[in-house]
Every structure is written in structure tokens, then in C-alpha cells.
Amino acid sequence: LVTLKIVAEKAGVSPTTVSRVINNSGYVSEDARRKVEKAIEILNYVPNNAARTLAKKRTNAIGVVVNNLHDPFFHDLIKGFEDGATETSYNIVFCSALGGDVAGKERYVKYLTNGVTDGIVLYGSYLSDESIINYLIDINFPFILIENEISGRIVNNLLIDNVGGAEDAVRYLISLGHKRIAHIVGNPNRKVNIDRMNGYINAMHKNAISIDPSHIKYITTGYVSGYDKMRELMLSDNRPTAVFCSDDAIASYAVRAAIDLGLKVSKDVSVMGFDNRTILPDGYRGPDITTVEQPLYQIGKDSICFLTEVLLNGGCMQPIRKVYSTEIIIKETVGPVYG
Amino acid sequence: LVTLKIVAEKAGVSPTTVSRVINNSGYVSEDARRKVEKAIEILNYVPNNAARTLAKKRTNAIGVVVNNLHDPFFHDLIKGFEDGATETSYNIVFCSALGGDVAGKERYVKYLTNGVTDGIVLYGSYLSDESIINYLIDINFPFILIENEISGRIVNNLLIDNVGGAEDAVRYLISLGHKRIAHIVGNPNRKVNIDRMNGYINAMHKNAISIDPSHIKYITTGYVSGYDKMRELMLSDNRPTAVFCSDDAIASYAVRAAIDLGLKVSKDVSVMGFDNRTILPDGYRGPDITTVEQPLYQIGKDSICFLTEVLLNGGCMQPIRKVYSTEIIIKETVGPVYG
DNA sequence: CTGAAAGCGCTTACAG
DNA sequence: CTGAAAGCGCTTACAG
């Protein structure tokens, strides 16, 4: 193993001087610098990060923690992280917890926050992340939270206006004449789904349309059960003319169900999603889903850039709070109400 | 900041004893253990990984390095890594280099190999990774290489039989009566594409079918140019009846081109891919592509498990070399030759 | 079963 | 411009 000390001996200078040249700090004579650089070259020396971290109390790395990194949902977001990475001098490492595994996520956070990164990006609208967030606050560790929030604690926050976006979506359906609008709700342990449901309710109330309680369906076994919920809705007595889903994955299954029932989507029934995912699960090949777009790429990129700023400015910074607005993307699954 | 020393004071024991209980090593009286555990609990102590790494020369982490983590191609592979992670006690961190950026990849490898991980999984069939691989060998760092190889150096290797898989694919086309079989070749700087091309050539030779040189097309601007290449093939004088593509992404564009030309895929022309990707780029919605499957999930999982073994057994282990075989997956884009 | 001491490989005041 | 020395927060022989 080649250490800084060995480099120093080879170069005929003190370890201090070697340190100065690899950190490009303090005064070093041209002559000394050349000797050190040559020794580094010859010995192929790379500084040990653990030792460096311990001495400097700084790792020069940022951690990104998500659930289910394999999910194609992350496509845009990861691209944002990657592009953010090219604009920061920090190394970026990703950690993934499977499913909604809080314990696994917590383990990674404790790992990353103790001498392996300087800051972390925590993604995910999980209510169950509260303990993790509290931990980060308690140890006063720099982090930025995407798409999550816990009441009463103010942190660096990147949010999407899910309530507003859902409200827009439902208002759009109403503008096309729909009144019997159903809602298929995703996992209620995720704040994002609760917000979107509230947006749905708001829009209905504001337009003085009363909601048939049987028109609100919760998925049970993941987004796949959007299929069953849609089927139930379509076969019910008070069949809705439009269905707003918590996300595109659910919507894709709703569309499949409608098609399998012989319905023509957008004509016989409208289906609207949320997310504007480019990649839908399980090889979906139905019509393109009318949806609400959230700027995931931008958020991913911003999260790295903002966190970099936070780290560089130390504590002397206003907490970041940014709410990204959404946009309706008209595609093929929504049409005017029949008749 | 709460350190081990503070815990020791609080518990009224020496730092040595605290270290023993957090590492569960050596003898500790029940009484001392209890006092230490209580102090840890009260102070909410978490050991500093950098200090630990420096002292133990062991990080208890594994790094996974890939290009373009955002690519949905990684879906199965990442799932494999994640599931592998649940079977090892190592923490897993992912790093992503954008595009074919060797410099970025090298930077991450140098970072990970110097006091941040104990071993790394290097994915990708890039010929240009040679310098990285040589570096890893030179510093004697444990790693496992997926889908890559450099001649003359023996390393832990997880490979896919790309030559055999491609040969099978082309033999399958031949068995359906095809003779004028074209090949659209992906980036020739990736070994995988060269191997598959060799498989194509082998199959043709073994069946004594001569190849029309104009039937071998190289993509130019990424998989999207599969579209143009297919168009050229379909409009050429000696139009092929079947086209074998280096991968499914290219094949998906070839299919798009055929359809846009008014051809019926599988009847007028057969298209075969490689990878059996569940998620095709850019919202592909054509027929399901007949292809060759590689067990990416298994490989991802195995890579973590094998590397864990290597790390636990120190140097005293035979190098790993495993070649995974492939399987033809018949879907909708291949049919018997016309007439 | 326990603790004092040295050491892991760096950095950073400090003195010159 | 340069270097000796202390220290970052742990672990691990070693002696008891």
C-alpha cells in the first residue's frame, strides 16, 4: 500500500508538503511541487478517503437514498441526479431500500451519515420515513427531502404541488362535461396519494359536484389492482364516465380493464393518470394516457445542486423550499362525456 | 458529536470495552455490556465509519459501478443487485457514469477503491474499461466483472454466452427458411456487440449461407439509428427476409421502420433482437419482439453473493468464472420465410 | 474480563 | 515556503 508518507520519502519532502500539493492548499515551491507530482505519478498514489475524511471531517460525497431503485419510475429522476452530479464536485452514491422497508432505509441513512457522505438526498413520499427524517434533524446532518414533509419540522424541501395538480386534472375532466368522476387511490401510506385525493375532492366540491362514496376505490395489492378496481367501477350501478387515478401505473391497469370489458377508452370512459411516466409497467401497450406531469428530471437535478450549495455555505443559509407545479398532458385516454 | 470516548465516560468503562461491545468481540462482562448498551442508547451513538475503516482496513461496503443507471435496461439487473444486497451483510452503494464517460467511471472507481468499499462490481461490456480493470488488478482490489473481459488477465468474471446466443438466434431464423438474413450491429466498442456479430457470422457459415456484405449495418447515432439502417435494408436491391439486431432497443427501431414502410413484421420481414428487455425505449408499442434472453436478474444477484464470498474468504479462492447461457424467447416478430 | 497505548493515513494549526 | 507534532475516532495487540 502506498501512503502519503511513502510519497514524501520518495519526493524528499515532508508529509505536510505532500498534503499541500494534493490538496492544492498553502504555499508550495514549484520545485517541491514537481518532485511530489513525480513521486505520485511513479508510485501511482491515490489518497485514502477514510483517513482524509477522519482528518478533514468532510467526505466530498453526497448520498441519494430511494426505495426500489429498479423501478422504471425513477428513469427521469435518476437522469436528473446524474446530470446534477456532473455539475457538482461531490461524488454521488445511490442506495436503495427494497419495498417500503424502513429498517433497510434507516440502516443506509445511518451508514451514509457517519463518515461516508456530507449530505443526503432523501426521496420518497413515505409517511413511515418520519423516524429517519427526525434522526437527520437530531444529528444536524445536511439533507434535502424530495416529495415528503413532516409537519412542524422545517427542512430543505423539494415538493410537487400534488393537490393542485390533481385539482387541475379533475377540473379538466369537469370541463369536458364529466360529473360522475371516480378516483382510484394508491397506497394511502404515501403522502403523495393523500394529496392527490384531496385535490380530487377539492375540485369536486368547488364545482358543487357530489361524490358517490363508492366512486373512491383504494388499491389493495399494488398498482396491478387498479385493474380490479376499474372493473368494479365499470360494472357498478352508478357507472362513472371518468376515472382519475393516483398515478399512471394504476391508470395503465384501469385502461387494460376497460379495454378487456369491451369499452372504448376516451369515448365510453375517460381515464386520467398522474406522473407522465415514459415507461409504464408490464409492457403496457394501450393508448397513451392523459396525465399530469411532474418535473422529475428537474427535481433530481436541482436536489443535487441545492444540496451542494447547502454544503458549501455551511449552516448560514435559509432552508430551501420549492414547490414545483405540474402540467396537464393531453394524450389519448380522455374525451368529452358521452351524449 | 458523540464519540466512542464519550460513551465510555458515560458508561464508566474504557473505550476498549465500548469497542468490544459494539463489535461484539472479545470478552465483556454482562454488567459492562449492559452499562455500555445503555449509554449508547441514551446518547444515540452511531460509530463513525471513516474512523472504523481506517482502523480496521475494512469498510463493510460493496460498490456497484455502471454506466447510465437511469437506463431502464438495468431494471432486472438492479433488482438482482438489490436482492443480492439483502443476502449479504455488506452495504451496497451504486455509482453511475454518464454515457460512455471513462473518466467519470475511473474517478468513481478510484474513489470507491480507496477507503470507501471493500470490493466492487463493475458492469458493462466496454472495451474502454480496460484501464480501469488494469488499475483494479494492479492495486489488488477485489472486484467482479460482469459482461466484460480483457485478454490475458484473469479476474472474477460473470459472462453471458453472447456468441452462442446470437448463433442460436440466427440458427432459429434459418430453421424457418430464412437465408437472406441481415444484421444490425450496435456500438462496436462494446464487446457484447462484437460477440453477437460473431455468433451471426458463425451461424451463417456453419449453414453454408453466404453473407451479403451490405447486409451488415452498423448503427451510427445510438439505437435510434436502427430505424435508418432497417430502412436502408428494406429498400435495398437484395432485401433480406430477416434481420437480427444486436439488442432489443435497436430491434424496436427496426420494427418501427418496417411498419412505417407498410410492411407486416413477421410476415413480410422477420426481426429478432437480444436481451428480452421488459421495457423498450421511447414508448415502443409495436408487436412483442422475438429475442434472446440473458439472465440479468440472476447475474446481478450472483455478483453480489460471489463478491461477498470473495471478500469473506480473503485471497484464498479460485477466481470465479461463470458463463450464463441464453434462451430464445419466441414472441411476435419472427415468422417463416415468405413463399 | 479490562484498560493503556500505539497505530490506521491523513490534515492543520503552529513555529520557524 | 517548509516541517514536527498533535489530532481526527476508532481498533487491536499487549499486559495485567
Where would I find the H helices in B176-225?
191-206
Tell me how far apart the alpha carbons of residues B144 and B133 are, in angstroms, rounded to a whole number: 10
Chain B residues near residue A116 by CB distance under 8 angstroms: 49-50, 61, 116
Is the four-CA dihedral A276, A278, A280, A283 of positive or negative sign? positive
Chain B residues near residue A288 by CB distance under 8 angstroms: 283
Tell me how far apart the alpha carbons of residues A232 and A216 are, in angstroms, rounded to a whole number: 11
Which residue is closest, via its CA, to the C1' of D2? A17
pLDDT exceeds cutoff 70 at A339: no
Backbone torsions φ then ψ of A320, nearest 5 degrees: -85, 135
Mutation for A interface: B57, B109, B116, most A CBs within 10 A: B116
Chain B residues near residue A69 by CB distance under 8 angstroms: 69, 78, 82, 94
Q: Which residue is listed with cell 477522519?
A: A54
Which residue is closest, via its CA, to the C1' of C13? A16
pLDDT at B285: 84
CB atoms within 10 A of CB B89: 8
B207 to chain A, minimum CA–CA distance in Å? 35
As a whole number of Å, the CA-based R_g of chain B is 26
Q: How far is the CA of B48 from the C1' of C12 (A)?
A: 21
Which burial class, exposed, middle or buried, applies to A300 when counting CB atoms under 10 A from its CB (0-12, 13-18, 19+)?
buried
Mutation for B interface: A45, A53, A70, A89, most B CBs within 10 A: A70
> Nucleotides of chain D within 7 Å of a protein C-beta?
1-5, 7-13
B321 to chain A, minimum CA–CA distance in Å? 26
Q: What is the mean pLDDT of chain A?
A: 94
Tell me how far apart the alpha carbons of residues B162 and B185 are, in angstroms, rounded to a whole number: 13
> Nucleotides of chain C within 7 Å of a protein C-beta?
1-5, 7-13
Tell me how far apart the alpha carbons of residues A52 and A284 are, in angstroms, rounded to a whole number: 49
Which burial class, exposed, middle or buried, applies to B161 when counting CB atoms under 10 A from its CB (0-12, 13-18, 19+)?
middle
Closest CA to B73 of B325, B294, B306, B307: B294
What crossing angle do the helices spanning B102-112 and B130-138 adopt, rounded to 10°? 20
- pLDDT, tens digit (0-9, with 9 covering 90-100), for A85-134: 999 999 999 999 998 889 999 999 999 999 999 999 999 988 899 999 99
Closest CA to B93 of B64, B118, B116: B64
Q: How confident is the model at residue A324 (pLDDT cuts 50, 70, 90)?
A: very high
Contact A13, A32 (CB under 8 A): yes
Partner-chain residue, chosen from A75, A116, A282, that has the shortest CB–CB distance to B72: A75
Which residue is closest, via its CA, to the C1' of D5? A16
pLDDT exceeds cutoff 90 at B224: yes
Note whether B288 contacts A288, CB cutoff 8 Å: no
Q: How far is the CA of B44 from the C1' of C2 (A)?
A: 24
Is the four-CA dihedral B167, B173, B175, B181 of positive or negative sign? negative
Backbone torsions φ then ψ of A147, nearest 5 degrees: 60, 35
- pLDDT, tens digit (0-9, with 9 covering 90-100), for A78-93: 999 999 999 999 999 9
Closest CA to A37 of A16, A47, A22, A51: A22
For the residues B74-92, what does the mean pLDDT come to? Answer: 95
C-alpha separations of B293 from A110, B92, B157, B172, B324 in Å: 38, 26, 19, 14, 10
For the residues B169-194, what does the mean pLDDT come to? Answer: 96
Note whether A76 contacts B70, CB cutoff 8 Å: yes
According to DSSP, the residues that pair with A190 across neighbouring strands are A126
Assign residue A33 a region (left: φ > 0; alpha: ψ between -120 and 50; beta: otherwise): alpha
According to DSSP, the residues that pair with B243 across neighbouring strands are B182, B271
Q: How far is the CA of A16 from the C1' of C12 (A)?
A: 9
For chain A, what is the total number of helices (H) and then of strands (E)?
A: 12, 12
B190 to chain A, minimum CA–CA distance in Å? 22
Contact B84, B304 (CB under 8 A): yes
Q: How far is the CA of A50 from the C1' of D5 (A)?
A: 21
Closest CA to B107 of B131, B86, B126: B131
Note whether B116 contacts A68, CB cutoff 8 Å: no
pLDDT exceeds cutoff 80 at B320: yes
- pLDDT, tens digit (0-9, with 9 covering 90-100), for A20-47: 999 998 899 999 999 999 999 999 999 9
Tell me how far apart the alpha carbons of residues B174 and B172 are, in angstroms, rounded to a whole number: 5
User: Residues of chain A with pLDDT > 90: what percent?
Assistant: 88
Written as one letter, the residue type at A220 is T
Contact B300, B92 (CB under 8 A): no
B224 to chain A, minimum CA–CA distance in Å? 16
Partner-chain residue, chosen from A46, A82, A98, that has the shortest CB–CB distance to B70: A82
Q: How confident is the model at residue B315 (pLDDT cuts 50, 70, 90)?
A: low
Cell numbers that stand for B43 in this block: 446518547
